[in-house]
Amino acid sequence: MKPMAHLGVGIGWRPEIADAVERLPGLDWVEVVAENICPGHLPEALLRLRERGTSVVPHGVSLGLGGADRPDPAKLAALGERAVALGAPLVTEHIAFVRTSSPVLEAGHLLPVPRTRDALDVLCENVRIAQDALPVPLALENIAALFSWPGEELTEGQFLTELVERTGVRLLIDVANLHTNRVNRGEDPAAVLDAIPLEALAYVHVAGGVERGGVWHDTHAHPVPPVVLDLLAALRSRVDPPGVLLERDDDFPPEAELAGELEAIRAVVTAGPAAGVRAEPAPEAAAEPEAVPEGAAEPESAAEPEAAAGPGFPVATEPARTRVALGQAALLSALVAGTPVPEGFDRARIRVQGRALAAKRADVVAKVAPELPGLLGGRAPYREAFLAYAKGRPMTAGYRRDALDFAEHLLIRDLPADPAARRRLTAWWRERAGVRPPRRVVRWARALAGRAA
């Protein structure tokens, strides 16, 4: 496998800290959440970063390559469009599942895949489909998890190693997630680092979190703790990472604190020689893909896997996909729809994860529809109303659809109780839904049907 181009030390770009990011000293690159940008309307702050030679890498969160279904071609095309628009050297995603198709449920979160042969076969085939569709190389991130699957057949190191061997995909190693899994699942980060092929390393994530009641929550909203920097140092002792990136998604600190966290990361990365593979120097700028003249042969894809699956590797059979689908559907239904927890799972941990998913869902809906808390009298009454709604209404589409469904749910029940607030919510819902709100007879019928269910 060819060494990865050098990226340096970077930070996750978010609109809330866009001005601060531009002023951070010594910043080499940034990463953006792919789903949060539009290729034809890139933020001016991102364009300015690109103009001064700062690399930008799109980081996807919605493909669900660990899910039982094959990747959605539209989502792959959208991720590829963002890579081209940003002149990105690669794109990244996660080793996770995020939805099921039977029943149709959305987690709104990255959930762990079982480390089984069936799940690995499905993941490898999905990764190869994605690689064929993307215009640049793909790297996948290890995720943080609150719980483990019963009956796992492989360790994390074995799972990641075989994934790389079978697909040639690169790895994005999140050392904060290694720490999370040490606390929550009893896994040894050193054993993972010793087992995985570090020559496949694309870059590294570093982030903060918090421990509550013996559970580590990977919040991306707290300072990076010393224990995570220690894991970065442990990785650094094994390999010279091509890039290291600070993730911060919420509760953004003052600019000076962000700069201090980056400096602490830079100090670990530059502290002494490391064994193993070293990265290539970075090109001056990522080249835009060249158009192919009509009638000419297509060039070899930039995303062509560097080690294709050989004849000795199994492929995902339809029975394997069915087994993975059944397991994931049973788990996700327990998490978001209140069905019984499948046999073998830690029920207490599943309850914690379910509450965390509902809370995250409420927070994200408040971000995509910031008017709702105000319409409902403030953050506390909004949150109370939304969590009550979420108990019986699993998310089946995106967060914007969820916001509209929540508002309709309230209107059907003649809520809010204050008529003026209800009129304002009706106007808000009508403007965004593009239809008339249900009449009172319809509201009564739906309410009675809901009680009967």
pLDDT digits (tens, 9 = 90+) for 141-199: 999 999 999 999 999 999 999 999 999 999 999 999 999 999 999 999 999 999 999 99
Helix intervals (H) in 205-305: 226-236, 255-269
Query: What's the rounded mean pLDDT across residues 15-35?
Result: 95
**What pLDDT, on the 0 to 100 scale, is given for residue 447?**
53
- pLDDT of residue 96 exceeding 60: yes
Give the pLDDT score at 453: 44
pLDDT band at 138 (very low <50, low <70, confident <90, very high): very high
Distance CA 377, CA 91 (A): 41
Q: Which of 110-114, 134-138, 300-304 has the lowest mean pLDDT?
A: 300-304
Q: Which amino acid is at 392?
A: G
As a whole number, mean pLDDT of residues 118-135 equals 98
Query: 196: which DSSP letter?
Result: S
> Would you report the helix, strand and coil content of the chain in percent, each value rounded to 5?
45, 15, 40
pLDDT of residue 452: 45
pLDDT band at 286 (very low <50, low <70, confident <90, very high): very low
For residue 147, the 8-state DSSP code is -
CA quadruple 121, 125, 128, 133: dihedral, nearest 10: -150
Residue 137 has pLDDT above 80, yes or no: yes
Q: Which amino acid is at 290?
A: E
pLDDT at 280 > cutoff 90: no
Mean pLDDT over all residues of the chain? 88
> CA 378 to CA 373: how far, in whole Å?
5
Q: Which residues of 365-403 are buried (b: 16+ CB within 10 A; e: fewer)?
A: bbeebeebbebbeeeeebbebbeebbeebbbeeebeebb
The dihedral sign for the CA sequence 194, 198, 202, 203: positive
pLDDT of residue 285: 41
Q: What's the distance, CA 273 to chain centroid?
A: 32
Closest CA to 92 of 25, 174, 170: 170
What DSSP line would sit under 302-356, residue for residue? TT--SS---TTS----HHHHHHHHHHHHHHHHHHHS-PPPPTTS-HHHHHHHHHH
Query: How many residues does this entry show for the chain?
Result: 453
Phi and psi (nearest 5°) for 55?
-70, 145
Structure tokens at 163: 């994934």
Ordered DSSP codes for 46-64: HHHHHHTT-EEEEE-SS--
User: Would you say residue 279 has pLDDT above 50?
Assistant: no
pLDDT > 70: percent of the chain: 87
Of 171, 120, 180, 119, nearest to 142 by C-alpha is: 171
Give the per-residue pLDDT at 317. Answer: 87
- The pLDDT of residue 390: 94
Under a CB-based contact definition with an 8 Å cutoff, are residues 154 and 162 in contact? yes
Q: Which two tokens stand for residue 134?
A: 């993307």
1 vs 329, more confident: 329
Q: For 297-315, how does the pLDDT look when each residue is reduced to its tens digit (9 = 90+)?
A: 343 444 444 444 445 677 7
The whole-number pLDDT of residue 296 equals 39
d(CA 311, CA 180): 36
pLDDT digits over 368-411, tens only? 999 999 999 999 999 999 999 999 899 998 899 999 999 999 99
Band (283; pLDDT cuts 50, 70, 90): very low
For residue 106, what is the enclosing H or E element? strand 104-111
CA 247 to CA 177: how far, in whole Å? Answer: 12
pLDDT tens per residue across span 269-278: 998 665 555 4
Q: What does each C-alpha distance from 318 to 69, 119, 322 come to in angstroms? A: 10, 12, 6
Q: What is the pLDDT of residues 31-67, one digit of tens each?
A: 999 999 999 899 999 999 999 999 999 999 999 999 9
Is residue 180 helix, strand or coil?
helix
Of residues 319 and 310, more confidently modeled: 319
Q: Using the predicted structure, report yes or no on whether residue 93 has a pLDDT greater than 60.
A: yes
Cβ contact 280:5 at 8 Å: yes
